[in-house]
Amino acid sequence: MFYLKISAGLFGLLGIINLTYGLKCPKISPCISPEDKSLRKEIDIAVKNHTVTVFSRTTCPFSKRVKAILRDNYHIKDLFIVEIDLHENMCGMLDCLNAESGIHTVPQVFVSGKFLGNHDIIKKLFESGLLDEILIDAKAI
């Protein structure tokens, strides 16, 4: 199950959908279940075909911080960023990511095909120096 919070914005009364724990998802657009094979395949391809994959939202401050950590501190050879708020089925994508990682928010970072962490984990790994080791072991830098 996913949750959304509605706030006034571009779409008038419907507002811009911001992901957070709160209200149930309104029936604005159909959300595909994690079992949808084409959406799951799309995520799998992104994760498996790139050394480092970040699932992000363009307006999310936590996503911006993780992307800044990765871009400003490392020369990652194969960094792939998926802005899920630009995807036609953001809710379904989050459901599929949740099934994979157990987390229903962004950012979500995958390294060498495996879930590494969200903002808090990536920040702690970076501050401790462990992120360097993980990226070196993955041959990402």
pLDDT tens-place string over residues 11-56: 332 233 333 333 333 333 444 555 578 898 999 999 999 999 999 9
pTM summary value: 0.75
Q: Which fold has domain 28-137?
A: Glutaredoxin (3.40.30)
Domain boundaries, the chain: 28-137
Cross-strand partners of 54: 81, 109
pLDDT, one tens digit per residue, over 63-108 is 999 999 999 999 999 999 999 999 988 998 999 999 889 998 999 9
d(CA 41, CA 6): 29
